Amino acid sequence: MSGRIFNFSAGPATLPLSVLETIQAEMLDYKGQGMSLIEMSHRSKTFDALTVESEALVREICGFSEDFQTLFVQGGATGQFAAVPLNLSLEGKVGEYVNTGSWANKAFKEAKQLGYAAREVASSADTNHDHIPSGLKPGRDAAYFHVTSNNTIFGTQFQDFPETGDVPLVVDMSSDFYCKRIDPGQFGLIYAGAQKNAGPSGVTIVVIRKDLLERSPKSIPSIFNYKTFAEKNSLYNTPNTFGIYVVNLVMKWIRDQGGIDIVEKANRAKAKTLYDAIDGTGFYKAHAREDSRSLMNVTWRLPSEDLEKKFVSEALENDLSGLKGHRSVGGIRASIYNAMPAAGVEALVGFMREFERKNG
């Protein structure tokens, strides 16, 4: 194995090569400051300007209006499992959750563990999460309606989001934010661990409708308080400065590709190439139903676990890394996030055909 390989890991995931090259070039001296950005005070004018620009870029890429604000926080999506009920719960109302897999279920359990009123309104668990439930709508007493837009483990994704009216739609978009065009007006709050499509691990993006900031009670821990972070421009405590810097570069990379619509077109083409290869044979079998398939995480099985182990091992020998399915499901998983080039998917499909020829 030599040089860069095709990394199909579910996350931390592959980053655009041009972004990595910029990081490399600026590592010792960030914009003539005589030091690396990761050495720089988060209170400096240079970093403050970067934060302001990054906040605007995160909103600009998907068309969020001035009614929304970007927050950069820490703790990953797991931290947001707690932050959402802490900030958005209302007396006499219930947080509603759709269970489409492991992460959605963890978010629901966290709300209950904290003692907030929460209920599961739909689930795909009875079919091992191979689809997105239909007919979703909030109850009259819902404080917010929470969904996980994309499920890395099972390879399913919301094709359209439920209409929730006056009830804020809260979405964990950790694994598919910026993969396609969305309607910003549908959402009350989006949160995403950056390490799939937006940057490195360690920084979490929250895009919140500003009127919802008034729900944040003073009694909750400040480190989880959305209003506190909004008032301090994400600088309430020392942020992940490097993470915000990389998010800034990735947002500019998306913009330089031609914007979110061009990125979506490329993602749909990559996914079609891979799903066609799976569906065109009896040797491979996709886990997700066709109407719920993810653009980002493609999951499938082989005729036996021994063949799956052999597939992963031989794929690595061919510079195709990160294809082992999640331990809770098994099988094969290819994560084809924005930065995965079409050449990577084509190389994988070529390997799949040759592997079937030898082992089918």
Positions marked active-site = 103, 172, 196
Please name which of 151, 180, 169, 160 lies closest in space to residue 68, comparing C-alpha atoms.
169
C-alpha distances in Å from residue 306, one per residue of 128, 313, 325, 356, 359: 22, 11, 13, 14, 11
User: Would you call 22 exposed, middle or buried from its count of C-beta atoms within 10 A (0-12, 13-18, 19+)?
Assistant: middle
Q: Using only C-alpha atoms, what is the Rg of the chain?
A: 21
CA 187/CA 80 separation, integer angstroms: 16
188, 170 in Cβ contact below 8 A? yes
Please name which of 242, 349, 184 lies closest in space to residue 20, comparing C-alpha atoms.
242
Please name which of 229, 247, 87 lies closest in space to residue 170, comparing C-alpha atoms.
87
Q: Alpha-carbon torsion 84, 85, 87, 92, what sign?
A: positive
User: Would you call 137 exposed, middle or buried from its count of C-beta atoms within 10 A (0-12, 13-18, 19+)?
Assistant: middle
C-alpha distances in Å from residue 41, one per residue of 73, 196, 197, 199, 202: 17, 27, 26, 20, 18
